[in-house]
Amino acid sequence: MTVLQRLTSLEEIGQSPVAQVLQDMGALGANQVAITVRDDSDTVLGGLVCLHGPSAQRYMQAIDAVTREIETEEQDREQ
């Protein structure tokens, strides 16, 4: 199985040690790998995001910012 095949399989990523996933990402020069899990109607049920390299902190900041926005929207709806 190639590095690319390992990074495009949720099962392979899930069974691999984190160090192997990061090593594979480094070998490909991939800053992020994102896999989504969808149902039959193409609705996203969940996902897995792996970050690596110099942009990882920026990706995390963006995820944190969106998380805060979602939490604020949910709090506003509850009131």
pLDDT tens string 23-49: 999 999 999 888 888 899 999 998 888
CA distance to 7, 32, 48, 71, per residue, from 26 (Å): 11, 10, 18, 33
Asked which of 24-33, 58-67, 68-77 is least confident by mean pLDDT, the reply is: 24-33
Structurally, how many domains does the chain consist of? 1
> CB–CB of 44/36 below 8 Å?
yes
- Specify the DSSP class assigned to residue 34: E
pLDDT of residue 13: 83
Number of residues written out for the chain = 79
Q: Please give the model's pTM, rounded to 2 decimal places.
A: 0.66
Instruction: For residue 14, give Cα distances in angstroms to 7, 11, 72, 77.
Output: 10, 5, 31, 35
What residues does 50 pair with on adjacent strands? 33
Section 59-66 average pLDDT:
95
Q: Which domain holds residue 49?
A: 3-78
